[in-house]
Amino acid sequence: MKPDKLILELEEVVGKLGFKIRKEKGNFRGSNCVLDGERIIMLNKNYPVEMHIGTLAKFILSQKHEELYLKPIVRKELEIVWERLEANNEPEFNFEGN
């Protein structure tokens, strides 16, 4: 699946989890927050779509993703990303406020 298509699918999954996505420029990697009671995942516009996919994949992994319906191709792509993240020993994000 092409990255541009995958990011759209992941954004839909994040929406099902009750989070909105904002893309902003700045000096940050990307994470979730609560702003004025709204649950948001911030993505840095300066970073490539592949980093956005990694950020969203980490977030989805930290949620009850087993209970979500994911299209088989999306689940397959997520599992690939999760394996890469684990192999690279990426630091875990703490996504609180579920």
Assess if CATH 3.40.50 describes domain 3-87: no
In tens, the pLDDT along 53-93 reads 999 999 999 888 888 899 999 999 999 999 998 888 654 44
CB distance 41 to 63 below 8 Å? no
Return the exposure string of 86-98: e unless at least 16 CB atoms fall within 10 Å of the residue's CB, then b. eeeeeeeeebeee
Structure tokens at 85: 């993240």
Whether this model's pTM surpasses 0.75: yes
The pLDDT assigned to 89 comes to: 67
Structural domain spans, the chain: 3-87
Residue 90 CA to residue 25 CA, distance in Å, equals 22
Q: Give me Rg for the CA atoms of the chain.
A: 13
The pLDDT assigned to 95 comes to: 45
In tens, the pLDDT along 23-33 reads 988 887 777 77
